[in-house]
Amino acid sequence: MRPAVDRQPKHEALHHGLHKGPVFVHLDRHAAGVVLPDDVEGDPLVTLRFSRNFTTHTEVVLSSDGVAQELAFEGQPFSCFVPWDAIVSMRSDDDDFAFFAQSIPEGLKDHIDVEFFTLLSEVSPMGRVEVVAGPLGPFVPRRETTLAVQYRQASPTAGTPVSASLTFKRGWNGHLSGTMTDDDGIPETTTMKGLWQGRRWTMTRQYRHSWFTDDNGDLGCAQGEPYVVHYTGFVDEREGALELRGIWRIRGSDGTEDAAGVWTAKTQTSTRRR
């Protein structure tokens, strides 16, 4: 039996997402109350695109029970209904995201990287974001600071993370610069530029070469466009040490996502001057 879930966050996320544009809703087609064409693709997860900008279909309707709209399937209109309990995640055109782990179908729980999608919904949330007045976030020193980093690719099996070392300095207005080197991964010291704003931490890692892993799992370097890794996350302070967590993404030249995953980092000692 599917556990009861709080429907309000889903209603609020979809409401705010639709104000910005189309929203892709990922749902469990076998959940009670779902009304879809029998031959729609996806099992058990189906993706539907809801929008308030359709000119040839009915208005999207959000009720206390779920979302309804007449959508087209191979040119044929069909009145769809999706109960709130059936929605697993939502994504907007500009990559805002909402994830509801409690709604994952039983048969898919071992095939979804819950940590990655949970972090994605925190760093790029769809819906209302509360803004709190006053100073926020931990103390980030201006002197050179080193973070022990671990990162892994998004995968249901949460594979072995790669360890790295990030050394940076904070400049004016929260700007960050430094270098990052894998302990046991790609043998290249990369440059890092970023920005610290309260608890939010963003940075890019620039490679000079194009790296790949062959069919045997061996690392190689090829001619090609060097890639950039984009890191987004949050920074906290515990007992004087900085702790970071978030997601990383690699995008191709056409804007498509080539890879993504989870990263964490922390200082080994207190960053506070005694």
Q: What is the pLDDT of residues 215-227, one digit of tens each?
A: 887 888 877 777 8
Res 132: pLDDT: 43
Contact 207, 227 (CB under 8 A): yes
Residues facing 149 on adjacent strands: 164, 265
Token pair listed for 210: 């194009």
pTM: 0.83
pLDDT reading at 60 higher than 50? yes
Domains of the chain, start order: 8-123 (2.30.30.220), 145-266 (2.40.128.120)
The arithmetic mean of pLDDT across residues 201-209, rounded, is 91
Q: What percent of the chain has pLDDT over 70?
A: 89
Average pLDDT, the chain: 85
pLDDT reading at 136 higher than 70? no
pLDDT reading at 273 higher than 70? no
Higher pLDDT, 33 or 111: 33
Higher pLDDT, 58 or 18: 18
Contact 257, 249 (CB under 8 A): yes
